[in-house]
């Protein structure tokens, strides 16, 4: 980790800049996959599965028998743990489903918004070394609470043609409608355009490799909504002298072990703490099975000494971290000043792992500085808020002249006429 002592304020923006993500040169490959899936459907997908996943499938949809087998394979203690996480995530995401009041904006003019689910949601869950069943919970639970009718999930099969039982179990538990053994850009294409097996969806969610990310970017240009732009995961920790350096090191490493491009930043106002955390990181990293990944991630990371905790918060707001841990005395006070962050963890026991799995907040969060303008996934992400208005006879009499004057000033006589014709009919009565 790069150690920086009291950087000048004018350099903070520069320090907060993310390492440039190489714009993947995958346009041609991915756009050809999208085109082929769009025109050839399942046939193209079977061919890509053979080519990319090394598996000759005969059917894309996971069968009820396969799901049942997975249920038997998950140990009971893990099932119980998943249930606790599910309950917490449900509680938090259900509370987000607020029905707003009807507002009488003028006499006789009532306006309101109604939560209506996006009918068809598509979830992508990556394959690879770690079975990210927690991401199934984080996406399918709010989709279900929002009321999505169809929740489709795509995830790549292993070389044996099977899907990790934990992913199947979590999908079953959360009410995913259909699971498909499809990975990569072809999965995004299948959900965006529909095939013989896979229903088309209206919005696509979930993390993925560079092919998946590029495919999501491209289908967005064709009018399919996506959850948010993708980037490497990040954690920023602010701690004062009262913090336990071992806790901080463990949190930094829990982020660093994600991937080699994860970025972790530690800010403190105390030189001794800075040194202690550095030593703890050096000790703890050696114990990690994924230490190679973590070490590479740490190379791109920073420990920074600033003159005050206020400065730490100010720096963090410029950086706009995906995850922010405030491990200080009176963390709530500093939390008030957070302007840009995805999810914030307060106090010494609020480790990022808690939010990753089970505190109840969502772990799908804006990275790469997008926390300046994006929220993490929530129940809102799976619904629209449709506005309604009802103008009564009295309402149009009150508001009609206002509308007419404004329409006239915008040179839209037809807009004015829609009001005038109603006002006239009322005078004639």
Catalytic positions, written as ranges: 322-323
Q: Which is nearer to a second copy, 61 or 422 (CB)?
A: 422
Distances in Å between the alpha carbon of 341 and those of 120, 321, 337?
29, 5, 11
User: d(Cα 22, Cα 167) in Å, to the nearest integer?
Assistant: 31
Beta bridge partners of 158: none
Q: Which is nearer to a second copy, 59 or 425 (CB)?
A: 425
Binding of residue 12 to a second copy (CB under 8 A)? no
Q: Which is nearer to a second copy, 48 or 169 (CB)?
A: 169
Q: Which stretch binds a second copy (CB under 8 A): 25-33, 47-55, 105-113, 304-312?
A: 105-113
Q: Which is nearer to a second copy, 5 or 402 (CB)?
A: 402
Q: Which is nearer to a second copy, 49 or 88 (CB)?
A: 88
Q: Select from 88, 155, 213, 316 the one that contacts a second copy (CB under 8 A).
A: 88
Q: What binding mask, one character per residue, do residues 333-352 give for a second copy by CB under 8 A, x or -?
A: --x--xxxxxxxxxxxxxxx
CA angle 311, 312, 313 (to 5 degrees): 90
Nearest distance from C-beta of residue 57 to a second copy, angstroms: 25
Q: Which stretch binds a second copy (CB under 8 A): 25-33, 51-59, 63-71, 386-394?
A: 386-394
Nearest distance from C-beta of residue 59 to a second copy, angstroms: 27
User: d(Cα 91, Cα 226) in Å, to the nearest integer?
Assistant: 25
Q: Which is nearer to a second copy, 56 or 385 (CB)?
A: 385
Binding of residue 429 to a second copy (CB under 8 A)? no
Nearest distance from C-beta of residue 246 to a second copy, angstroms: 6
Site for a second copy in 395-414 (CB under 8 A): 395-396, 399, 401-403, 405-407, 409-414
Binding of residue 196 to a second copy (CB under 8 A)? no
Q: Which residues of 273-312 are buried (b: 16+ CB within 10 A; e: fewer)?
A: bbebbbebbeebbeebebbebbbebbebbbbbbbeebebb
User: d(Cα 406, Cα 398) in Å, to the nearest integer?
Assistant: 14
Site for a second copy in 125-144 (CB under 8 A): 129-134
Site for a second copy in 154-173 (CB under 8 A): 166
Cβ contacts of 351 within 8 Å, gap of 6 or more: 247, 250, 251, 254, 325, 345
Q: Select from 31, 177, 244, 259 the one that contacts a second copy (CB under 8 A).
A: 244
Nearest distance from C-beta of residue 350 to a second copy, angstroms: 4
Q: What binding mask, one character per residue, do residues 261-300 give for a second copy by CB under 8 A, x or -?
A: -----------------------x--xxxx---x------
Q: Which is nearer to a second copy, 5 or 418 (CB)?
A: 418
SS3 of 204, please? strand
Structure tokens at 207: 């993390």
Q: Which stretch binds a second copy (CB under 8 A): 47-55, 77-85, 179-187, 263-271?
A: 77-85
Q: Applying CB under 8 A, what is the total number of residues that bind a second copy?
A: 128
User: d(Cα 395, Cα 402) in Å, to the nearest integer?
Assistant: 11
Q: What binding mask, one character per residue, do residues 16-55 give for a second copy by CB under 8 A, x or -?
A: ----------------------------------------
User: d(Cα 417, Cα 423) in Å, to the nearest integer?
Assistant: 10
Cβ contacts of 311 within 8 Å, gap of 6 or more: 269
Q: Quick one: residue 108, left, alpha or beta (phi over 0 = left, psi -120 to 50 = alpha)?
A: left
Nearest distance from C-beta of residue 419 to a second copy, angstroms: 6
Structure tokens at 233: 């995961």
User: d(Cα 366, Cα 342) in Å, to the nearest integer?
Assistant: 6
Structure tokens at 10: 């004018």
Q: Torsions phi, psi of 304, nearest 5?
A: -125, 130
């Amino acid at each position: 980790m790069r150690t920086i002592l009291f950087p000048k304020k004018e350099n903070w923006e520069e320090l907060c800049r993310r390492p440039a993500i190489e714009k993947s040169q995958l346009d041609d490959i991915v756009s050809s996959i999208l085109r082929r899936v769009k025109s050839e459907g399942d046939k193209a997908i079977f061919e890509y599965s053979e080519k990319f996943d090394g598996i000759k499938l005969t059917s894309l949809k996971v069968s009820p028998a396969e799901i049942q087998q997975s249920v038997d394979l998950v140990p009971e203690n893990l099932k119980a743990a998943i249930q606790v996480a599910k309950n917490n995530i449900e509680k938090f995401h259900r509370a987000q489903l607020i029905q707003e009041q009807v507002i009488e904006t003028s006499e006789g003019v009532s306006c309101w918004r109604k939560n209506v689910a996006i009918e068809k949601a598509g979830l992508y869950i990556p394959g690879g070394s770690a079975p990210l069943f927690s991401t199934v919970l984080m996406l399918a639970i709010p989709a279900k609470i929002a009321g999505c009718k169809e929740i489709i999930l795509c995830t790549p099969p292993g070389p044996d043609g099977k899907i990790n039982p934990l992913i199947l179990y979590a999908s079953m538990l959360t009410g995913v409608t259909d699971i498909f053994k499809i990975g990569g850009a072809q999965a995004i294409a299948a959900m965006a355009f529909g095939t013989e097996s896979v229903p088309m969806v209206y919005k696509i969610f979930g993390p993925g490799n560079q092919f998946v990310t590029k495919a999501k970017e491209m289908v967005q240009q064709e009018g399919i909504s996506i959850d948010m732009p993708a980037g490497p995961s990040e954690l920023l920790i602010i701690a004062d002298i009262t913090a336990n350096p071992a806790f901080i090191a463990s949190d930094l490493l829990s982020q660093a072990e994600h991937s080699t491009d994860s970025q972790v930043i530690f800010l403190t106002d105390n030189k001794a703490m800075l040194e202690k955390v550095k030593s703890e990181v050096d000790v703890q990293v050696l114990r990690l099975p994924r230490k190679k990944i973590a070490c590479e991630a740490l190379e791109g990371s920073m420990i920074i000494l600033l003159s005050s905790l206020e400065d730490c918060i100010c720096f963090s707001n410029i950086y706009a971290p995906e995850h922010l841990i405030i491990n200080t005395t009176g963390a709530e006070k500093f939390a008030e000043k957070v302007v840009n962050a995805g999810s914030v963890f307060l106090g010494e026991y609020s480790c990022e792992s808690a939010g990753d799995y089970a505190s109840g907040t969502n772990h799908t969060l804006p990275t790469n500085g997008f926390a300046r303008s994006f929220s993490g996934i929530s129940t809102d992400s799976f619904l629209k808020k449709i506005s309604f208005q009802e103008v009564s006879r009295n309402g149009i009499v009150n508001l009609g002249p206002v509308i007419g004057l404004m329409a006239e000033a915008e040179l839209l006589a037809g807009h004015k006429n829609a009001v005038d014709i109603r006002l006239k009919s009322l005078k004639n009565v």
